[in-house]
Amino acid sequence: MPQHSTTKTPLALLNSLRLLSAISFGVILACTATAQNPAINTAKTDRPYFNDKKAPNAEDLQAIQQLLQASKNKVRQATVCIQIGQGSGSGVIVSEDGLVLTAAHVSTGVNKELTVVMEDGKEYKARSLGLNSENDAAMIQITDKGTFPFVEIEPAKTRENASTKLGDWIFSLGHSGGFDKQRGSGLRLGRLVRIAEHTIQSDCTLIGGDSGGPLFDINGLLIGIHSRVGAVTDVNMHVPIHVFHTHWEAMKKGEFIGKGPFAKKPVKGQAFIGIAVEKVTKGLKITDIDKDSVADKADINIGDIITKINGNAVKEKADIINVMKDKATGDEITLTYIKKDGTKTTELKLKLGTR
């Protein structure tokens, strides 16, 4: 492995200048209602002979090509582009009702609004479920109704039981550099070149935008999610599927697991509405609104009087401060207020911002 001596920098694969992290999609259960763990569609066990040969010969190349071509079409339909803010990554649908596996650095957090773009360009609304910020694993649920194409996932719960071995021929898909309908998701072939506890490495060459996209064995069984790359082209890192199995229920419930580095947990007490208030008889009167804050963008103005927060009456500034202590960026609060002209009382749901 002489190339490795020149390896320099691990890079995340999100297609964004702002966000520095890797992306992956969560696997959807076939029987979401009852399953304790993801139900696996009859997992393929037929192991192609060429995987157990060290190096292929000319005949094996034909066999590899044949299987790859047969597998790629069905799994491509389930490979999606994920758009969030200014960034984009990839993901893969793993259940008929639209559960998506991706990377934590793509979903970036819990309960975030995202857009999922199918191969044909059709867009669906989606919401991020839980994530594992240490291993770069995350789940997303498509919230628009539909019946979605999905892939089969590797059933093994641990690395030791995995059906893939070092040297196996594998392929990757992903929306490199963002969605491009004319191009479609890019197909790349490689071998499984390194296996570690929470990471597998391949020489399927990845780039920004592929983050969260699927890595398949040659039969089209999902074995990993793209996470990050090194400077050398055969350093492409993926999250193995057993990491998803380990945290399946927690992620499905929307838990934020771990302390990074692939996603940052919002910190309580750092959320921000963007208003200054003073005490008046009926409640708290707004005296100033910060430019570009959530209040600035909402239908609330200087002079309006806040009477309730989350349904509880407010009389002192401390009443707001006490509520905000427990809130993090992205949390929601409901304000009840009287318009400046006194005409009506309004309820306003606000998604809290960052100072």
For other proteins, the binding residues in 193-232 under the rule CB under 8 A are 193-199, 201, 203-210, 228-232
Structure tokens at 15: 């297609």
Residues in 145-184 at the binding interface with other proteins, rule: CB under 8 A = 159, 166-167, 171, 176-177, 182-184
Residues 108-137 that bind other proteins (CB under 8 A): 134-135
Q: Facing residues of 186 across strands?
A: 174
Instruction: Name the minimum Å distance from CB 140 to other proteins.
Output: 21
Site string for other proteins, 59-78 (x = CB under 8 A): -xxx-xx--xx--x------
Contact letters for other proteins, residues 238-277 (x by CB under 8 A): --------------------xxxxx---------------
Q: What is the DSSP string of 123-192?
A: EEEEEEEEEETTTTEEEEEE-S--------B---SSGGG-S--TT-EEEEEE-TTS--TTT-SEEEEEEE
- Residue of 39, 187, 276, 328 interacting with other proteins (CB under 8 A): 187
For residues 66 and 334, which CB has a smaller minimum distance to other proteins in the complex? 66
In whole angstroms, the minimum distance from the beta carbon of 202 to other proteins comes to: 9
Q: Which stretch binds other proteins (CB under 8 A): 19-27, 39-47, 140-148, 338-346?
A: 19-27
Residue 131 or 300 having the CB closest to other proteins: 131
How many other C-beta atoms lie within 10 A of the C-beta of residue 322? 13
Considering the complex, state which of residue 2 and residue 311 has its C-beta at the smaller distance from other proteins: 2
Check binding of 6 to other proteins (CB under 8 A). yes
> Per CB under 8 A, does 56 bind other proteins?
yes
DSSP string, 194-257: EE-SS-EEESS---TT-TT-EEEETTS-EEEEEEEE-SSTT-EEEEEHHHHHHTHHHHHTT-EE
Nearer residue to other proteins within complex by CB, 17 or 318: 17
Structure tokens at 8: 């320099």
Give the total residue count for the chain. Answer: 355
- Tell me the C-alpha distance between 90 and 322, whole Å: 40
CB count within 10 Å of CB 267 equals 10
Task: In whole angstroms, give the CA distance from residue 284 to residue 316.
Answer: 7
23 lies in the binding site for other proteins (CB under 8 A) = no
Q: Write the Ramachandran bin of 166: left for phi over 0, alpha for psi from -120 to 50, otherwise beta.
A: beta
Binding track over 307-346 against other proteins, x by CB under 8 A: ----------------------------------------
Nearest distance from C-beta of residue 287 to other proteins, angstroms: 40
> Which pair of structure tokens corresponds to residue 32?
């979401």
Is the Cβ of residue 265 or residue 308 nearer to other proteins in the bound state?
265
